[in-house]
Structure 1
């Protein structure tokens, strides 16, 4: 074979292949120890008592130690922090002894400068042909980035927990403030009415919402007493403002003209003029006047779009007082309000309520509780007295659970079956 001047002749094909295989084999042989010693992870081998028999340069560099400091002089646990040593002795070593291998265990090793390095440790017990353990081979991966990530997650979790705790405290303070404001819209307690009993209850469907239900009972003069109960459209601060205006308007109107229709008419005028433009506001309401006379009490009342009052008679009857045609209060400039009259005798109770009671959802089909169910329930309470009626209805409201999604106000007024004795009863 001839070649051109200045060119190196190609080696024979067989010689090229042999040379390449020899170089590759030489590279493997020469680099095996180097690969072990300069691996990106730490390697060490220990005797069964934990004495370090072999360790790579990577791990020595992490620890800041020399090979002479470690090999034959230190045990694996000497490389660990106090906490890491305790975990090794109580968990790592027993599991390795039982299983023969263990992997991915988070430990901390000590550096020569007194620092700590988080690592993930995997160990394997090497045995002889008869299964007797000879030594333990251990691999350590630098887990600094993982530890930093875990610490960041922990920090974020703590921040989230603190935010949740703060939110819970803010919610509790808000609920307390709402409860105080709600109580300010209702009488602190009902005044005693001579010859009668009175009871009330306010059920809050949600402590996070300010309701618009209201009621009141107050004297007009030496003989007559006025009462009202109603429900303002909406929830929250706006509804509370309307509730406050409604309550004080009805009180003032009753002192000027106690006729129930006149009182509701005055309230209608005030609400319509105040909220005719912008966001309209209105309410439903029942207003009445009580006039005790001997063993009976005459009741005059008017309704503006409110559920009818229910009369529980001593003989077991329960009947609604019809007030047809009464319009919502404040919706129109001139509204018609329906009036009615009844007489309560010993053992009779007049019950007023807001629609949260009858519109509660019950049963699997989530059907409205309704007027008929209320009348049937109340019929079983006839003759028991206002306080017992309110107590029973409070239990009923609680039984609705999440089926009750609206506030409910209750006001019961009745004539006791046994009139209380006064000092004059004993005079000759």
Structure 2
């Protein structure tokens, strides 16, 4: 209807009769035409698989004439060798048992030998007495889907390749942050291990043992906050700063004070960086068989474990040591120990004691942690031991905890051999 030009009653516009006829013709496709030119393929087969009816859509897809298929071939004849095997061993038996099977990915062989990826759904038509009469099958062209799946697979393979490359780069970077070899100290056994929790990101744990002067060595072990390239840069700075500071002034507290100054200078404001660290100054305590003297300075780091020659174990606590890099003038705690023959000192990062030992109960966020008490009991059961023995035991423990170790863990152990072990070469 349209409004009248003079503002009076609207004028009704009649659709011409020929327009009505054409519009009705568009809406009244015959059922046969809908079947023949549907956007999917249809075929009906007898119970033995012989094709009884097929629509034009499927014939066009495959390039066959109707007479080539109807009464001449079975549905399985259109399948590839692998598809035919699947049809006989899985598809057909399931269809007989269930009466319907849907969304099965297969490939049909076209007349020119090419392959058409399809999704197939079949149902069994039954008579009034429930007896099966024929099988109706709907076929959907899956070429676009196959291309999409292949693109996804290609992207996944590329992502996996890039991830493996990233792992290799991370491993290489991680190796540059650790000493290629620890210094050999006459009269001392040394062992270390680095446990990588995830190959996808570089951790911030570090350790080293190096000579300073005749009869004096420096050692350290620590953990930089965070992971990834940023943490790796800080770790590198921390390692070289500790070595340089120890040459300038080997006093352990002075070494950590210098490191704190560097971190405060380099990282401040919106991107502060800090670490926990233990630095030790190791010297001979006397003549042969007298052992070593070690002075430790701690900056917020877990205490070292001292496993004595008599089989006991205790923490070498340094109360009050504060994180390095947070405050301008942190308190740095120190302690001096004597390592006698048969004694072992083990330093570790908190990835060990913070490891999960059991999953949280349903609805709980907390998870049990391995903890300091468990580590102390573990060390007590080891004693007396050696540096290689202690590190090997910790490696086995980390393996036992498995995925519960979700943070990198570094361990460094030193021990003074017993005189009889030294003489026998053990």
TM-score interval w.r.t. the shorter chain? 0.7 to 0.9
Task: Describe the shift of the 1:415–1:39 C-alpha distance in structure 2 as closer, same or farther (beyond 3 A).
Answer: closer
Do the aligned partners of 1:39 and 1:58 also contact (CA within 8 Å) in 2?
no
**Deviation per CA, 1:84-112, whole angstroms, max 9, x where unpaired?**
59859x959x98xx99x99999896977x
Aligned counterpart, 1:380 = 381
Aligned counterpart, 2:296 = 301
From 347, 358, 362, the counterpart of 1:352: 347
Q: Which moved more, 1:354-363 or 1:294-303?
A: 354-363
**Deviation per CA, 1:124-174, whole angstroms, max 9, x where unpaired?**
899xxxx9xxxx988787x4xx21xx1211211111111111111111111
Do the aligned partners of 1:346 and 1:415 also contact (CA within 8 Å) in 2?
yes
1:403 to partner: Cα distance: 2.1
**Deviation per CA, 1:350-394, whole angstroms, max 9, x where unpaired?**
111111111222235532222221111101111220001001011
Aligned counterpart, 1:263 = 255
1:59 to partner: Cα distance: 9.7
Residues 193-232 of structure 1 mapped to structure 2, 5 A cutoff: 193-232=185-224
Aligned counterpart, 1:329 = 324
Do the aligned partners of 2:313 and 2:376 also contact (CA within 8 Å) in 1?
yes
* Partner Cα separation in structure 2 for residue 226 and residue 421 of structure 1: 26
Task: Describe the shift of the 1:162–1:287 C-alpha distance in structure 2 as closer, same or farther (beyond 3 A).
Answer: same
* Partner Cα separation in structure 1 for residue 175 and residue 345 of structure 2: 23
* Partner Cα separation in structure 1 for residue 154 and residue 80 of structure 2: 33
Do the aligned partners of 1:77 and 1:85 also contact (CA within 8 Å) in 2?
no
Do the aligned partners of 1:43 and 1:137 also contact (CA within 8 Å) in 2?
no
* Partner Cα separation in structure 2 for residue 107 and residue 256 of structure 1: 75
Do the aligned partners of 2:49 and 2:75 also contact (CA within 8 Å) in 1?
no
Q: What's the secondary structure of 1:284's corresponding residue?
A: strand
**Deviation per CA, 1:372-426, whole angstroms, max 9, x where unpaired?**
211111011112200010010111112222322211110001101136459xxxx
What is the aligned length?
A: 369
1:76 to partner: Cα distance: 2.0
Aligned counterpart, 1:370 = 371
1:65 to partner: Cα distance: 5.8
Q: Which moved more, 1:398-407 or 1:281-290?
A: 398-407
Of structures 1 and 2, the larger Rg is shown by 1
TM-score by length of 1: 0.72
Do the aligned partners of 2:49 and 2:76 also contact (CA within 8 Å) in 1?
no
* Partner Cα separation in structure 1 for residue 315 and residue 49 of structure 2: 92
Do the aligned partners of 2:49 and 2:74 also contact (CA within 8 Å) in 1?
no
* Partner Cα separation in structure 1 for residue 407 and residue 239 of structure 2: 20
Q: What's the secondary structure of 1:211's corresponding residue?
A: coil
Q: What's the secondary structure of 1:40's corresponding residue?
A: helix
Q: What's the secondary structure of 2:326's corresponding residue?
A: coil
Aligned counterpart, 2:159 = 167
Task: Describe the shift of the 1:139–1:166 C-alpha distance in structure 2 as closer, same or farther (beyond 3 A).
Answer: closer
Aligned counterpart, 2:283 = 291
Q: What's the secondary structure of 2:276's corresponding residue?
A: strand
TM-score by length of 2: 0.72
Task: Describe the shift of the 1:297–1:340 C-alpha distance in structure 2 as closer, same or farther (beyond 3 A).
Answer: same
Aligned counterpart, 1:402 = 403
Do the aligned partners of 1:261 and 1:337 also contact (CA within 8 Å) in 2?
yes
- For structure 2, list consecutive stretches of 5 or more residues without a partner in the other structure: 1-29, 37-41, 361-366
Aligned counterpart, 2:25 = none
1:210 to partner: Cα distance: 1.1
1:120 to partner: Cα distance: 8.2
1:56 to partner: Cα distance: 10
